Amino acid sequence: MEKEVKIVKFGETLRPFLPHGSEFYVAQFLVEKVVHFTVSKARKTKLGDYRQPWEGKPHRISVNGNLNTYAFLITTIHEMAHLTTFEKYGNRVQSHGYEWKEEFRILFQPIMEKDILPTDVTMAVNNYLRSAKAASCSDDKLYRVLRRYDKNRGILVEHLNEGDMFEIKGKVFILGKRLRKRFECREYGTGRMYRVLGLAEIDQLLNSK
């Protein structure tokens, strides 16, 4: 009974971050697996993170709190799948290999059965589940669909014009030619060349040609 009360309270705490109808499913998993769950500040390098039990510490999962509810849910289940993969296989398999993909599919199935996602997100997730990659932004179609639900959508590198100067994570770049999903960019000041993902969100546009 005490565990059920804890799940309900935790679900209510998670409600603002998740689509309605998914909060108690996630809460039950996190409580039963004894997970230290953290809603993190926005991180440019990752949407979520899973840490294995270590020196008496429990499983730990963190997810960026600035994500829209659908992105938050997908990222959370992504990290939950890392946990169950670790429980079954330890460190004997690849982080995002076949075993993890199967765990991700299994954990997301109850969400699909609840029919709580918008049609466009459901279709994008179905495509994503067929060949899930390391992160939601690794799948262009899923990332673009999830961005529709962002309240404050930033500027992506692919929105810029060749020659534009922009900043990402404290570095200033000048946009060059497109190379499929990435752009050839020159770092201002050093002249170093980088290949920046077109779907990367810039911190600020400094000027344009």
User: What DSSP string describes 139-154?
Assistant: SHHHHHHHHTT-SS--
Q: Which residue has the higher pLDDT, 207 or 142?
A: 142
Instruction: Provide the residue range defining the domain that includes 194.
Output: 157-207
- Does residue 52 fall inside a structural domain? yes
Pick from 57-61, 91-95, 124-128 the range whose average pLDDT is largest: 57-61
Assess whether 142 and 193 both reside in one domain.
Answer: no
β-strand 193-197 against 204-207: which pairing, if any? unpaired
Q: In this structure, which amino acid lies at residue 151? A: K
Assess whether 6 and 102 both reside in one domain.
Answer: yes
Residue 194: the pLDDT is 93
Assess whether 99 and 196 both reside in one domain.
Answer: no
Q: How confident is the model at residue 183 (pLDDT cuts 50, 70, 90)?
A: very high
Assess whether 103 and 83 both reside in one domain.
Answer: yes
> Nearest-CA neighbor of 40 among 70, 76, 15?
76
Q: How confident is the model at residue 137 (pLDDT cuts 50, 70, 90)?
A: low
Number of domain units in the chain: 2
Does position 55 have pLDDT exceeding 80, yes or no?
Answer: yes
Instruction: Kindly tell me the number of DSSP H helices and DSSP E strands found in the chain.
Output: 6, 8
- Does residue 152 fall inside a structural domain? no
Assess whether 12 and 80 both reside in one domain.
Answer: yes
163-186: average pLDDT: 90
Residue 134: the pLDDT is 56
Assess whether 110 and 51 both reside in one domain.
Answer: yes
Rounded CA separation 111/107 (Å): 8
